[in-house]
Chains A and B, each alone.
Chain A
Amino acid sequence: MTGQEHLIHRYLRSSKRFPHVWCPGCGIGILLGALVRAIDGNGYGKDDIVLISGIGCSGRLPVYLDFNTLHTTHGRALTFATGIKLAKPKLKVIAIMGDGDASSIGGNHLIHSARRNIDITAIIINNQIYGMTGGQSSPTTPFGLHTASSPFGHLEHPFDIAKLVEAAGAPFVARSTVYHARILERLIGTAIAKSGFSVIEVMSPCVTHFGKWSGIGSAVQMMQWQKDNTVSIEKARNMTPTELQGKVVTGVLIDAHKPTFHEEHARISREMKD
């Protein structure tokens, strides 16, 4: 047994009934591991972490971990997260969402959390499809892809989630994949430590549905796809738009500073007391 496995065991809930709900080859477990290592690496106590999710495969993540955990409604994780953060500003609040969860039904909450700069880390697991309901197209499904709800090819164009939250004002935006597990872990650690609304888009394989509909295939092939089709932001800066066609750019995309909502609110409260 490696030391890494011991670490996971320290954070898994011993009282929770297993096995977990995810399919073989799903990327969410890798993200869970990276998240735990990032939290441990940052030295936070279990009581300091609140893990909040919406609905979907990603929504089932918090229950397995020994933190303060909350499984909310579809798309609304950030609204509950906002309330908790403002009620208990010392807590590290992390919202786990899927692509449909965060950018379709929860799209409004996502852009306003970014604009408002609430001190929350939003981890968006993007598998480009609705997994739990059986492989329907999501706002990040590629144009033309046949899915369970786009049997003649997807007629719509996908969101670039990272660009969306950047435009909405998020001061920290990063992207990675579950193939790049170690890099992902570092990015998550940085995002949680960062003050303000930080977003990490995590490209993750849904073998069961996206693998099938896209024709990419098995879990191994989907991992290989992630490896072959990602380019770090450092490399991408020296590449032409044609070279970047179809590539996923990873790394820290935005790292800025602006005052957070809870700090500004605390300032108002202090001034009213004086």
Chain B
Amino acid sequence: MKSNRVLLQGSEACVRAAIAAGCRFYAGYPITPATEIMELMSRAMPKAGGVFIQMEDEIASLGAAVGASLGGVKAMTATSGPGFSLMQEHISFAAMAEVPCVIVNVMRGGLSTGLPTRPAQGDVMQARWGAHGDHPILVVAPSSTYEFFDLTVKAFNLAERYRSPVIVLADEVVAHTRESVVLPSAHEVEVEDRVRPSVPPEWYSPYRDPGTGIPPMAAFGEGYRFHVTGLMHDINGYPTERQDETEELMARLFNKISKDFHLLQWYDSYFEEGAEVTVIAYGSVARSALRAVRTAREKGMPVGLLKLKMLWPFMRRTVSQYLQSSRSVIVAEMNMGQLSREVKRVNQGTCPIHTLNRVDGRMITPEQILTAIEEELR
């Protein structure tokens, strides 16, 4: 009998997930530590009947992915910090024109060229606010090879469901760690596809709210001739400067995701029973945190772990619960304090929040987190 247990790198799991989710277009540009995803895609795409193309830069990569998606094909790109900065222009376009696409950002150390081969989590805020203009965004953060698979599939599903760019915010450790995992077989993977128009072309308005906030999406070249623009547009996609139409579009863009906030609370909680101290972590740091919390529990310390798998929209209602039930909270992340700002915003001063930050290109170790826990409980 064929086992689904495999020894895989996070990057490999990401590529397998994309194919399982129906991705048939990849455009990218080489960058450490995301290059593996591109190299694997260069073989996987033609094999799966899809298209692989290495573009001239990251701006072009996301442009091509958005173009392919308008052609009706699920598309993705992958990059790291510097390339992610170049992609912001088209993240804004994809959000405005409501074109599903998946962007993987394997975060590396430092600002600018920084520490290309080292892990960090410095792009949490860039993922949320890097693109110009008010826009909604969906960002998931895997902490293991299995989660890289799972959340990549889900990222495609979210992109299709909400007609939105979705960012998979991984880090160097998650992308490069090779571990034994059991992946679901192809038929076990739940795949969502964008809603296509059910009306004849002459009745189709590409941006008319059908009531769900998410207009059905036709593909180019299939009889529905419509206009797509990054300009503010009316329900037909035509440019507008009218206040009422602008207001309506902006409200719909935000509401289509905010109406589902309760469905977008993606997290894992460990040892939450009786936890006086809660560690909040995401990405590879969550693994160090779990090790630390396990050790602490073995020593009889009342501590739990909240691992966030969805970073944006920020899981206000979930995090609030933990802030209310804990005596104090430790937010551990490989940056100078990015997600901790959100935790503090939600907290509004009711629970002491301690930050554990590391930006020297090395992982936050279980020992570091354990020390922080011990200090909290002293």
In the assembled complex, the CB of B72 is this many whole angstroms from the nearest CB of chain A, namely 7
- Please judge, given known A-B contacts A69-B227, A80-B64, A81-B67, whether A88 and B59 are in contact too, CB under 8 Å: no
A90 partner residues in chain B, CB cutoff 8 A: 221
Q: Is the interface of A mostly helix, strand, loop or mixed?
A: helix
- Contacts of B209-237 to chain A: CB distance below 8 A: 219-223, 225-231, 236
Instruction: Assess the B228–A69 pair: CB atoms within 8 A.
Output: yes
- Please judge, given known A-B contacts A68-B226, A73-B230, A265-B51, whether A80 and B221 are in contact too, CB under 8 Å: no
A88 partner residues in chain B, CB cutoff 8 A: 71-72, 219-221
Fill in one digit per residue for A60-89: 1 if any B CB lies within 8 Å of its CB, else 0.
001100111111110010111111111110
- The distance in angstroms between the C-alpha atoms of A63 and B60, with both chains bound, is 23
The residue that B70 contacts in the complex, of A63, A73, A83, with Cβ under 8 A, is A83
Instruction: Assess the B230–A261 pair: CB atoms within 8 A.
Output: no
- The distance in angstroms between the C-alpha atoms of A82 and B90, with both chains bound, is 15
- The distance in angstroms between the C-alpha atoms of A199 and B46, with both chains bound, is 28
B226 partner residues in chain A, CB cutoff 8 A: 68-69
B319 within 8 A of A: no
Chain B: CB-nearest residue to A74? B89
In the assembled complex, the CB of B9 is this many whole angstroms from the nearest CB of chain A, namely 22
Which of A44-52, A145-153, A176-184, A207-215 touches B?
A: A44-52
In the assembled complex, the CB of A28 is this many whole angstroms from the nearest CB of chain B, namely 16
The number of chain B residues with a CB under 8 A from chain A is 45
Fill in one digit per residue for B54-72: 1 if any A CB lies within 8 Å of its CB, else 0.
0111011111111111111
A50 partner residues in chain B, CB cutoff 8 A: 220-221
Q: Is the interface of B mostly helix, strand, loop or mixed?
A: mixed
The number of chain A residues with a CB under 8 A from chain B is 41
- Please judge, given known A-B contacts A17-B238, A86-B51, A269-B46, whether A72 and B63 are in contact too, CB under 8 Å: yes
A16 within 8 A of B: yes
Instruction: Assess the A86–B229 pair: CB atoms within 8 A.
Output: no
- The distance in angstroms between the C-alpha atoms of A87 and B230, with both chains bound, is 21
Instruction: Assess the B230–A108 pair: CB atoms within 8 A.
Output: no
Fill in one digit per residue for A8-26: 1 if any B CB lies within 8 Å of its CB, else 0.
0000010111000000000
Chain B: CB-nearest residue to A71? B229
Chain A: CB-nearest residue to B205? A15
- Please judge, given known A-B contacts A68-B220, A83-B67, A87-B73, whether A62 and B227 are in contact too, CB under 8 Å: yes
- The distance in angstroms between the C-alpha atoms of A47 and B218, with both chains bound, is 12
- Contacts of B1-39 to chain A: CB distance below 8 A: 25, 27
Instruction: Assess the A272–B46 pair: CB atoms within 8 A.
Output: yes
- Please judge, given known A-B contacts A46-B225, A108-B56, A272-B47, whether A80 and B220 are in contact too, CB under 8 Å: no
Give me the interface of B with A, judged by CB distance under 8 Å: 25, 27, 46-47, 49, 51-53, 55-57, 59-73, 75, 89-90, 93, 219-223, 225-231, 236, 238-239
**11 other contacts beyond A46-B225, A52-B67, with CB at 8 A cut-off?**
A15-B238, A63-B238, A68-B221, A70-B227, A83-B66, A86-B51, A87-B67, A87-B71, A87-B72, A88-B221, A112-B56
A–B Cβ pairs within 8 angstroms, 10 of them: A13-B227, A15-B238, A47-B225, A62-B227, A63-B238, A70-B70, A70-B227, A73-B230, A80-B66, A109-B60
Closest 5 CB pairs of A and B: A83-B67, A79-B63, A87-B71, A80-B67, A83-B64
